[in-house]
Amino acid sequence: MVSRPHTSVGVAVAVAAASALVLAACGSGASADSGSSAGNGSSGSGSITVYNAQHESLTQEWVDAFTKQTGIKVTVRNGSDTELSNQIVQEGEASPADVFLTENSPAMTQVENAGLFADVDKATLDQVPAGFRPSTGKWTGIAARSTVLVYDKRKVQENQLPASMLDLAKPEWKGRWAASPSGADFQAIVSALLELKGEAATNEWLTAMKTNAKVYKGNSTAMKAVNSGEVETALIYHYYFYGDQAKTGENSVNVGTHYFKNQDPGAFVSVSGGGVLTSSKNAAAAQSLLRFITGKAGQEVLQKGTSFEYAIASDVPANPALVPLKDLQAPTVDPAKLNSATVTDLMTKAGLL
């Protein structure tokens, strides 16, 4: 995962230290609650709590800009997709969360299926193209990320790369690819495979993966292993590469990116989600955060910041360093259909979890 620096300030730090959720998007890193307040005592319209499974630094950028614009105070509690979706379901109507933000959409669907999301305001939905949100309107996409096979340019020539993600199940790829199966990122890719190819094909691919893949914890760890020559390729999300390149490039200097394109399951573009909980005591402020994130200013954080995730809404183009979204030739997948429970079962059965 991208490093997630703590940005907590003031009193919130002490509170956070005592109550930090052990967590983390992408299966590594530490986190703490962090408070963000409007300066100079601006009261705005009260305060809200966000359960955040997106990368901490990205959400903090959104929240800081939102608070500055609206005066609404935001408390962020960080965790991974499934940790927080499970927590929300467990807390039910008693949840202190007003807004839930994820890295990937299966966790959103879990909360939606539990009946815990309010309808997203139409003004927000209108900012987001239909392909990046479920037709139910119970949550919305806020950003997107692409699957990519990173490879060691010293060892693998472009013409030796697999045409399809499904090829990684072939015997010739034994020991030659890496992944982080415990993370929500990889599990979202499997959920797309399940939706596109069905349970039998997914089961077969996962069984072959158990034999063929080297397992790492965290996408950035897998990419580092490629860079250091430990393994030839890794199936991860794109922003780990671009994020490293934008810093020192030390963990990706030997790494190339291979996009499967051609509507391949490996060309899956995952949607990060945002939703307002029915338990919210300040639904107007919660809705306004989603409207802000999917609006021009929120999407420009994606375009111009260091997250390297894709902007998807309000006609804001992607960060120019990235392959344009339309060129990725992603398969059409309804985010509402991505099923995390079956994926976890199949991966457990295959010995990957």
Contact set with Fe ion (CB under 5 A): 26, 185
- Taking the least distance from each CB to Fe ion, the nearer of 83 and 185 is 185
Cβ nearer to Fe ion, comparing 111 with 143: 143
Q: Which is nearer to Fe ion, 26 or 267 (CB)?
A: 26
In the bound complex, which residue of the shown chain has the CB atom lying closest to Fe ion? 26
- Least separation in angstroms between CB 147 and Fe ion: 11
CB of 39 to Fe ion, least distance (A): 31
Neighbouring residues of 78: CB distance < 8 A, sequence distance ≥ 6: 4, 21, 23, 24, 25, 31, 32, 33, 34, 52, 53, 56, 59
Strand stretches in 225-317, DSSP E:
233-237, 255-258, 269-276
Task: Specify the long-range contacts of residues 295-301, CB closer than 8 Å, at least 24 apart.
Answer: 295/127, 297/65, 297/69, 298/62, 298/65, 298/66, 298/142, 301/58, 301/61, 301/62, 301/65
CB of 185 to Fe ion, least distance (A): 4
Helix axes 56-70, 283-294, angle to 10 degrees: 110
- Nearest approach in angstroms of CB 261 to Fe ion is 21
Give the separation between CA 313 and CA 294, rounded to whole angstroms. Answer: 6
Measured from the CB atom, the residue of 75 and 221 that comes closer to Fe ion is 221
How far is it, in rounded angstroms, from Cα 85 to Cα 23? 12
Based on CB atoms, which residue is closest to Fe ion, 58 or 347? Answer: 58
Give min distance, CB of 179 to Fe ion, in A. Answer: 13
